[in-house]
Amino acid sequence: MDEFERALMEALHREAAPEGFAERVVARAGPVKAGGRIWWKKRAFQWSLAAGLAATLLAGGLIEHRREQQIRGERAREELMLALRITGVKLHAVQERLAEMDREGGKQ
């Protein structure tokens, strides 16, 4: 390092920061932090709202699904009962026919 470089180094010494610099930075950081909190709260509210909506939709869907299953079950039971009734009527007709045939055979 020659004389010129040494003079340059002396000329480019570190200056002291202006009076109250650190306080001004910290004061400016306040709104940044507060802003950050507000942003975080807003985002949390949005997420909880979305989660609540999703939960409501899911619960509604489950209730509807159960109701449909119940209706389907009732309809199947009714159809079975009808089929049993029809079968019963048919069996009764067949029994009567057989009894009639027996009676006719006895007369001859």
- In angstroms, the CA 87 to CA 108 distance is 32
Least distance (Å) between residue 10 CB and other proteins: 6
> Which tokens sit at 62?
């489950």
Total residues in contact with other proteins, by rule CB under 8 A: 23
Task: By CB under 8 A, tell whether 15 contacts other proteins.
Answer: yes
Dihedral sign for Cα 62, 63, 67, 70, please: positive
Which one of the spans 24-32, 62-70, 73-81, 87-95 is the region binding other proteins (CB under 8 A)? 24-32
- 107 interacts with other proteins by CB under 8 A: no
| Residue among 24 and 90 whose Cβ is closer to other proteins | 24
User: For residue 25, which of 17, 15, 35 has the smallest C-alpha distance?
Assistant: 17
Restricted to residues 36-95, the positions that interact with other proteins (CB under 8 A) are none
CA distance 70 to 74: 6
Shortest approach of other proteins to residue 17 CB, angstroms?
4
Distance CA 73, CA 79 (A): 10
Using CB under 8 A, list all residues that contact other proteins.
Answer: 4-5, 7-18, 21-22, 24-26, 28-29, 32-33
